[in-house]
């Protein structure tokens, strides 16, 4: 397919109008315009740590205080952030099209705050604002919504704002060492009393919610999916990265990539009827879906 056809907004609108079953797979790029950093590439470093390395069960076991500071900082940032026009455009599409389902890898709660209908939203990697016991699944304690900021006194440095709002938070100042937070100062599970409280997110090697995965599989297999929107994700992490091709029925499904950067390789992989729109999702989605 020619690059002009692949990035034609009129052709995209023509296909959208004929689409009843639409799947979106979203990633961190969707929330970039809300000021929240992505994982890979620029912004993927937190102090001198790789964000992906901190998002792991091994990192939590080795230094729960450090991993909690990282998550407490992200909770604080997400609470201060606002849903952007892309979150609103997706929520609006869901209200218009009952056969639209949004799968998001984002844990920042911005879809929910944009009032995306909950029955048309699957949060693949959980939420920064849910808590569970580190002994899970042996201990089943959870708190589905906790927005305390700071979560506990020891994590207060993660909630400290800069005097100058254009500057990064004091916690990120590389010239200031991080406080060493012992596990005893972190919240413990109120039920089993032995486990630590941990963020209710899905780390590498951990299973996604099986009921949710079954529900998504059922939705994909039920009928032909007319369109898959792949928005602001590097499509690196499974199972999320596999849904576009799984939902594809040859000749029927348009896979639409919306990303700040679309590589030559990505363009080369696109098939007839697919689309690629390069730019900020917060600018593009209102135009594409409006």
Residues marked as catalytic: 125
- Report 25-84 residues binding ligand BJW (CB under 6 A): 27-29, 32-33, 38-40, 52, 55
The residue range among 21-29, 168-176, 185-193, 264-272 that interacts with ligand BJW, by the rule CB under 6 A, is: 21-29
In terms of Cα–Cα distance, which of 60, 73, 72, 103 is closest to 205? Answer: 60
- Between the CA of residue 12 and those of 218, 220, 278, what are the distances in Å? 27, 21, 14
C-beta of residue 36 within 8 angstroms of C-beta of residue 104 = no
CB of residue 18 to ligand BJW, shortest distance in Å: 25
Interacting residue with ligand BJW among 215, 261, 272, 290 (CB under 6 A): 261
C-beta of residue 130 within 8 angstroms of C-beta of residue 142 = yes
Report the 10 Å Cβ neighbour count for 224: 12
C-beta of residue 91 within 8 angstroms of C-beta of residue 114 = yes
Q: Output 38 or 254, the one with its CB closest to ligand BJW.
A: 38
- Angstrom distance (rounded) from CA 107 to CA 69: 16
| Cα-Cα-Cα-Cα dihedral sign, residues 89, 91, 95, 101 | positive
Asked if 280 interacts with ligand BJW (CB under 6 A), we say yes
Number of residues that bind ligand BJW (CB under 6 A): 33
- What is the residue whose two structure tokens read 């007319």? 226
Q: Output 148 or 208, the one with its CB closest to ligand BJW.
A: 208
Interacting residue with ligand BJW among 5, 97, 169, 260 (CB under 6 A): 260
Q: Is 133 annotated for ligand binding?
A: yes
- Angstrom distance (rounded) from CA 105 to CA 224: 23
The secondary structure of the chain in percent helix, strand, coil, rounded to multiples of 5, reads 40, 15, 45
- Report 215-234 residues binding ligand BJW (CB under 6 A): 232-234
Report the 10 Å Cβ neighbour count for 268: 7
CB of residue 229 to ligand BJW, shortest distance in Å: 12
Residue nearest to ligand BJW (CB): 29
- Report 94-113 residues binding ligand BJW (CB under 6 A): 105, 107
Annotated binding site: 133, 139, 189, 192
Annotated binding site for Zn(2+): 133, 139, 189, 192
| Residues in contact with ligand BJW by the rule CB under 6 A | 27-29, 32-33, 38-40, 52, 55, 105, 107, 125, 201-208, 232-234, 236-239, 259-261, 280-281
């Amino acid at each position: 397919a020619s690059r002009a056809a692949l990035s034609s907004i009129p052709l995209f609108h023509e296909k959208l109008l004929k689409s009843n079953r639409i799947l979106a797979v979203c990633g961190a790029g969707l929330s970039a315009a809300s000021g929240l950093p992505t994982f890979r590439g620029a912004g993927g470093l937190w102090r001198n740590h790789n964000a992906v390395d901190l998002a792991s069960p091994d990192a939590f076991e080795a230094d729960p205080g450090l991993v909690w500071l990282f998550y407490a900082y992200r909770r604080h940032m997400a609470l201060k952030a606002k849903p952007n026009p892309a979150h609103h455009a997706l929520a609006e599409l869901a209200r218009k099209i009952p056969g639209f389902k949004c799968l998001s890898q984002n844990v920042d709660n911005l879809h929910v705050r944009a009032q995306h209908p909950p029955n048309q939203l699957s949060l693949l990697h959980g939420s920064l604002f849910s808590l569970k016991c580190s002994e899970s699944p042996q201990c089943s304690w959870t708190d589905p919504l906790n927005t305390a900021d700071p979560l506990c006194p020891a994590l207060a440095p993660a909630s400290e704002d800069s005097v100058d709002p254009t500057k990064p938070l004091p916690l990120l100042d590389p010239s200031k060492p991080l406080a060493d937070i012992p596990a005893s100062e972190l919240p413990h599970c109120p039920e089993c009393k032995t486990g630590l409280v941990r963020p209710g997110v899905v780390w590498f090697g951990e299973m996604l919610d099986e009921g949710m995965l079954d529900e998504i599989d059922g939705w994909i297999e039920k009928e032909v999916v007319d369109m898959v929107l792949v928005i602001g994700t590097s499509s690196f992490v499974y199972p999320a990265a596999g849904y576009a091709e799984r939902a594809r029925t040859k000749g029927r499904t348009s896979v639409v990539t919306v990303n700040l950067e679309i590589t030559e390789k990505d363009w080369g992989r696109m098939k007839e009827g697919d689309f690629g729109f390069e730019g900020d999702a917060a600018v593009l989605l209102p135009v594409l879906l409006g």
